[in-house]
Amino acid sequence: MIATIPQTEINDFAVKIGYSPQELLRQSLIAFIWSNLQDVKTEIFHIQKQYKIDKPTDFEKLYETGIIEEKDTWKDYQQFDHLFYKQEILETFLKQLA
């Protein structure tokens, strides 16, 4: 169970370390998004390496050419496509915060 920290404690902490509460929240979001983005990029890299592809449309080309079978790789394709989507969302929000 995660403890709930009262807003007053967060405000006090921010002031003690020389930040406004808004800047503390902004910096926390940046760190959180950056960490998640690195995890997503790592997962993308593993799939890219496994199938020797760069983007989700490359998966489709492998299916079309018969190099791989959908029944054996469909979950990887879905995950790969979702990871690209998630990466785009995280990068967009990170740019908004910067």
pLDDT, tens only, 31-86: 999 999 999 999 999 999 999 999 999 999 999 999 999 998 999 999 999 999 99
**Cα dihedral sign, 24-38-36-92:** positive
pLDDT at position 2 over 80: no
Residue, of 87 and 7, whose pLDDT is higher = 87
Q: In the prediction, which pLDDT does 62 show?
A: 95
Q: What is the pTM of this model?
A: 0.86
Structure tokens at 77: 């394709």
**Separation of alpha carbons 66 and 61, rounded Å:** 8
**Separation of alpha carbons 7 and 15, rounded Å:** 12
Q: In the prediction, which pLDDT does 5 show?
A: 85
